[in-house]
Chains A and B, each alone.
Chain A
Amino acid sequence: MLLQAIAFYLMAAVTLISAVAVVSSKNPVHSVLFLIAAFFSAAGLFVLLGAEFLAMLLVVVYVGAVAVLFLFVVMMLDVDFAALRQGFARYMPLGGLIAGGLAVEMVMVSTTVATRGAAKLNEIPMARGAGAAPDVTNAEAIGRVLYTNYVYFFQAAGMVLLVAMIGAIVLTLRHKPGVRRQVIMDQVLRTPKTGMRMVSPKPGEGIDA
């Protein structure tokens, strides 16, 4: 228990500090790196809750893929953050409102979970920590919930992602005329016979092309 408490306070502190640093650091690349630290320590918190499957997914999806793309873009673009920061006072009330709304929602959700329990809402164990049968891993528990109670929502979410993916491809796909492309098949099928020609030019004469 003591170890868990130490781990919890450590990771919670890292999460909060990194989250603040994301907003406050001057260099956008540092912001993304702090964001990654925040994701990572949030995953650590998931592990402490006994939801190791979610923790690993958080790391794989957000840290391993999404944040890499963030970093990729932020490193390539020359974003002038000083210019972006100029409207700080003007956007402050709106931002504060949204943040306050989110905070209220979070408190409501967590109090509901604390009083009624997430597991009781579904009658299905979500995490081993929440008094579930020890032989059901939480990957299995999540699978059972997703593919029974929420199968339509799950499929709909998949559909939305698919449409978004196709949309992104359609938006960026351009067939420029006159672009020379690599045709791998031609390259693979090239043999000495097709790629080479033996000639014996006479002195003073060139080779006709």
Chain B
Amino acid sequence: MILTSLWANPIAWTLLTLGQILLVTVVLLLTVAFMIYGDRKIFAGVQMRKGPNVVGPFGLLQSFADLGKFLVKELIIPAGADKVVFLLAPLISVTLAIASWAAIPFGPGWVVANINVGVLYLFAVSSMGVYGIIMGGWASNSKYPFLGALRSAAQMVSYEVSIGFVIITVILLSNSMSLPRIVELQAGGFWHWNILGGGGLKNLPLALVMIPMGMIFFISGLAETNRPPFDLPEAESELVAGYAVEYGSTPYLLFYLAEMSNILLMSGLMAVLFLGGWQAPWPTHYLDHLAGTPWSWLASLHGLVMLMLKTMFVLFSNAMVRAVVPRYRYDQLMRLGWKVFLPTSLVAVALVAAWRVFGPVAA
């Protein structure tokens, strides 16, 4: 094929990769726009309000109106702020948030960077996300943002630990750190998904471990992205808006974008690691006929739709949690992270490792 020869050429390779990056970024930003709309609609629905319904049909264009509003606002930098760090912080946040998407497999063979340590890459990038918030909070040179930044640093570092252990259980199941490989191994119906132990009915007893792991991942994801009920870094009733108090206009927009894109990422990652990624919940032998024909992209599209449906399901749960659960107290948050999730996930790592070595489908 002409494409494979293009890959060998360094200039064509660069252009193709840039094109892929552009495509993913544009689609991601559009998705985030509608995700914010959906989130607000669900939130409104729970509270028996109508939510955004003025701009465009059913208010669908609300996010774009907000975007325009943010962009034309005046950029105000506080007099005492550290200007460079103040402006760098939202940039770092949004860059990292978008960079994480490079490793997510959207369909069979549809991934920007197929790195064999994809899971670690995502973990590394998301663990750097805390810098945007700390730098923003510190550079504002103001009390509330600083307190918000400190809270968020402690919170995100704490929950990363349990996310790390949960990811290790998935790595143990798949025997690989490559995200496309992890998804491939979950083929053949929902009983092959990692949340039910991965690897079919023989591994079903592991569901007892993996379902709680999935729940821990979901909840830690909420804490990692500063979503309610763990939105203490910006707890508006105590810290006004936390680390973002001094931000307005485009820098604030970038923070918001980064946060929303991270929520989408966590939902997508949940789908990839536990819910089979682009695999359908049923055996998909009918797609095998497409292999080798000009219609093989249909299989990829099929996968993309599956991944989107799963991500939307996780996002919906995410929005419902935000609407229904009251905010945690800070000591409860720390207790949950260190005293509940960390020991549970540690034990789970030991159990899954033991199953892999001594279980019926030993490695």
Chain A interface residues (CB < 8 Å from chain B): 1-3, 27, 29-30, 33, 36, 40, 43, 52-53, 56-57, 59-60, 63-65, 68-69, 71-72, 75-76, 137, 139, 182, 184
Which residues of chain A have C-beta atoms less than 8 A from B121's C-beta?
52, 56
Q: Which of A57, A64, A139, A184 contacts B335 (CB 8 A)?
A: A184
Q: Which of A27, A64, A71 contacts B134 (CB 8 A)?
A: A71
Distance, CA A57 to CA B120, complexed state (A): 8
Segment of B30-38, B68-76, B124-132, B268-276 engaged in the interface with chain A? B124-132
Q: Is A60's CB under 8 angstroms from B120's CB?
A: yes
Q: Which of B127, B153, B335 contacts A60 (CB 8 A)?
A: B127
4 nearest A-B pairs in the assembled complex, by CB-CB distance? A64-B127, A56-B120, A59-B124, A60-B124
Q: Is B10's CB under 8 angstroms from A68's CB?
A: no
Does B247 lie at the interface of the complex (its beta carbon under 8 Å from any beta carbon of A)?
Answer: no
Closest CB of chain A to B232's CB: distance in Å? 16
Closest CB of chain A to B267's CB: distance in Å? 21
Which residues of chain B have C-beta atoms less than 8 A from A69's C-beta?
157
Task: Determine which residue in A2, A30, A72 has the highest number of CB atoms from chain B within 10 A of its CB, and name it.
Answer: A72
Closest CB of chain A to B246's CB: distance in Å? 16
Given A3-B14, A53-B117, A65-B127: A139 touches B85 (CB 8 Å cut-off):
no
Q: Which of B13, B117, B150, B160 contacts A52 (CB 8 A)?
A: B117
**Residue of A with least CB distance to B17:** A3
Interface residues of B in 164-196 (CB under 8 A from A): 164, 177
Q: Is B120's CB under 8 angstroms from A68's CB?
A: no
Does B53 lie at the interface of the complex (its beta carbon under 8 Å from any beta carbon of A)?
Answer: no
Q: Is A64's CB under 8 angstroms from B120's CB?
A: no
Given A2-B10, A72-B153: A53 touches B120 (CB 8 Å cut-off):
yes
Which residues of chain B have C-beta atoms less than 8 A from A57's C-beta?
120
Which residues of chain B have C-beta atoms less than 8 A from A29's C-beta?
82, 85, 138
Distance, CA A30 to CA B84, complexed state (A): 10
**Residue of A with least CB distance to B335:** A184
Q: Is A65's CB under 8 angstroms from B117's CB?
A: no
**Residue of A with least CB distance to B178:** A137
Q: Which of B14, B128, B154 contacts A59 (CB 8 A)?
A: B128
Closest CB of chain A to B90's CB: distance in Å? 15
Given A59-B124, A68-B157, A72-B153: A139 touches B130 (CB 8 Å cut-off):
no
Q: Is B138's CB under 8 angstroms from A182's CB?
A: no
Which residues of chain B have C-beta atoms less than 8 A from A139's C-beta?
116-117, 177
Q: Is B150's CB under 8 angstroms from A72's CB?
A: yes
Sample of 25 A–B contacts (CB below 8 Å): A3-B10, A3-B14, A29-B85, A33-B85, A36-B131, A52-B121, A56-B117, A56-B123, A57-B120, A59-B124, A59-B125, A60-B120, A60-B123, A60-B164, A63-B124, A64-B128, A64-B160, A68-B130, A68-B153, A69-B157, A72-B134, A72-B150, A72-B154, A75-B138, A139-B116
Q: Which of B127, B134, B177 contacts A75 (CB 8 A)?
A: B134
Distance, CA A30 to CA B313, complexed state (A): 42
Distance, CA A166 to CA B230, complexed state (A): 29
Which residues of chain A have C-beta atoms less than 8 A from B245's C-beta?
none
Which residues of chain A have C-beta atoms less than 8 A from B85's C-beta?
29-30, 33
Known A63-B124, A64-B130; further 16 A-B contacts with Cβ < 8 A: A1-B10, A27-B82, A33-B85, A40-B128, A52-B116, A53-B120, A56-B120, A59-B125, A59-B128, A64-B127, A64-B160, A68-B134, A71-B153, A75-B146, A139-B117, A184-B332
Task: Determine which residue in A27, A40, A43, A68 has the highest number of CB atoms from chain B within 10 A of its CB, and name it.
Answer: A68
Chain B interface residues (CB < 8 Å from chain A): 10, 13-14, 82, 85, 115-117, 120-121, 123-125, 127-128, 130-131, 134-135, 138, 146, 150, 153-154, 157, 160, 164, 177, 331-332, 335
Distance, CA A53 to CA B128, complexed state (A): 17
**Residue of A with least CB distance to B331:** A182
Closest CB of chain A to B205's CB: distance in Å? 26
Distance, CA A40 to CA B127, complexed state (A): 12
Distance, CA A205 to CA B121, complexed state (A): 68
Given A59-B127, A60-B127, A75-B134: A52 touches B115 (CB 8 Å cut-off):
yes
Which residues of chain B have C-beta atoms less than 8 A from A27's C-beta?
82
Given A33-B85, A75-B134, A182-B331: A64 touches B115 (CB 8 Å cut-off):
no
Given A53-B117, A59-B124, A137-B116: A65 touches B135 (CB 8 Å cut-off):
no
Closest CB of chain B to A85's CB: distance in Å? 20
Q: Is A33's CB under 8 angstroms from B135's CB?
A: yes
Which residues of chain B have C-beta atoms less than 8 A from A33's C-beta?
85, 135
Distance, CA A40 to CA B128, complexed state (A): 10
Q: Is B157's CB under 8 angstroms from A63's CB?
A: no
Distance, CA A178 to CA B84, complexed state (A): 46
Distance, CA A68 to CA B161, complexed state (A): 14
